[in-house]
Amino acid sequence: MPETTVATAPRAPEASGGPRPRLVEGRGEISRAVVAALCSGDTPHHPRDSEAAADPWGEDLQLALYLLYALHHRGFEGVDEDREWDPDLLRLRRALESRFLDALREGTAAAPRTVDGAFGPLLEEPVDLSDSLGHLLETDGELWQLGEYAALRSLYHLKEADPHLWVVPRLTGRAKAAMVAIEYDEFGAGHADRVHARLFADLMADLDLDPAFDRYPDHAPAELLATVNLMSLFGLHRSRRGALVGHFACVEVTSSPGSRRLARAMRRCGAGAAAEHFYAEHVEADAVHEQVVRHEVIGGLLADEPDLEPDVAFGCAAAVLVEDRLGRHLRSSWSEGRSALRVPLGPRPGPSA
């Protein structure tokens, strides 16, 4: 891939450096119990029926899962690192995952269970773009909306590709080789300043956002948390390796056209060179990745384990489901002229304020 030179503002602080993230406040009985347990070192205490009664798409369950999954990433300031494998926290996580998985299965019950059926519609540009969040930002998005979008997506992009790496020890042959080749690009092909998480931190600096790792979970609604939790859910379980490959493939297949729209949105709104560059970088790179992931990662996996095809299709359908839910939330909020964040970033300029 040819190198692209852009003029950028001073670089943001290193996304992987600095102190560990701080815990945020809970949003219900379960997430408050998780926060209290992490702070005290004790077991989580909450009503026994709260897990079964929790809304699988709700703020409480999604935040609790996000906090529990964060222990497998960088943890939290002041929280013992050994809590990552605390049996009481793992039991709670398993119960919440079960609720989330049931909701995912219900939401994708009508989706195809073959690879061709799952990915076929994603390979064609839809005629009607009225439901496309990228099209909305490309044509009508305002700078404050791009800032909100970036703040939310930082929960994914500052750990971009990390959960997908968990599948590598569970693959063999063609699938493993191709997966590692794609991830090599995601991590900058040996150049720290080209790591995609690094590039996203620079994008955030252009938009006057804090590029510190996991800075904005308190701002993120359940719809966004679910998109990140899905990746961790599939990645942490060997039994979900097919679903994780399906999720990864869905991200790569849809990335190039979506990134093209977002690069145009950043340029039109004057977001900055680094903000535009992050998405422009993904247009060409992910167009190549899309071919490799479909023919080599999925093809190699199913050559070795053909029984995993329904799982691969489920991973793709689940990714589409959570992204559609997030898109509806963002479009609904912005169409009413209000912030899509639980905690707005600050005053907005112009008539939308």
Q: Domain end: 80, 107, 134, which one?
A: 107
Query: Same domain, yes or no, for 124 and 273?
Result: yes
Q: Cβ atoms within 10 A of the Cβ of 119, count?
A: 22
Query: Same domain, yes or no, for 282 and 162?
Result: yes
The set of residues, in sequence order, having a beta carbon less than 8 Å from that of 82 and lying 6+ positions away, is none
CA dihedral 345, 333, 225, 135 (to 10 degrees): -100
pLDDT tens for 287-301 read 778 889 999 999 999
Helices (H), 160-240: 162-165, 173-186, 196-206, 222-235
Q: Token pair for residue 85? A: 């494998």
Residue 135 lies in a domain: yes
Query: Same domain, yes or no, for 162 and 65?
Result: no
Query: Same domain, yes or no, for 153 and 298?
Result: yes
Residue 260 lies in a domain: yes
Query: Same domain, yes or no, for 79 and 202?
Result: no
Query: Same domain, yes or no, for 209 and 168?
Result: yes
Query: Same domain, yes or no, for 281 and 135?
Result: yes
Whether the pLDDT of residue 102 is over 90: the answer is: yes
Query: Same domain, yes or no, for 244 and 133?
Result: yes
Query: Same domain, yes or no, for 69 and 162?
Result: no
Task: Give 242's pLDDT tier (boundaries 50, 70, 90).
Answer: very high
- pLDDT for residue 281: 85
Query: Same domain, yes or no, for 142 and 72?
Result: no
First and final C-alpha spacing in the chain: 42
Query: Same domain, yes or no, for 269 and 228?
Result: yes
The domain in which residue 228 lies consists of: 115-335
Give the chain's domain count: 2
Distance CA 301, CA 239 (A): 14
Residue 342 lies in a domain: no
Task: Give 16's pLDDT tier (boundaries 50, 70, 90).
Answer: very low
Q: Token pair for residue 325? A: 């839910």
The CATH number of whichever domain residue 280 belongs to comes to 1.20.910.10
pLDDT tens for 261-271 read 999 999 999 99
- pLDDT for residue 127: 56
- Picking from 66, 48, 52, 58, the residue whose alpha carbon sits closest to that of residue 28 is 58
Let me know how long the chain is: 353
Query: Same domain, yes or no, for 276 and 192?
Result: yes
- pLDDT for residue 202: 96
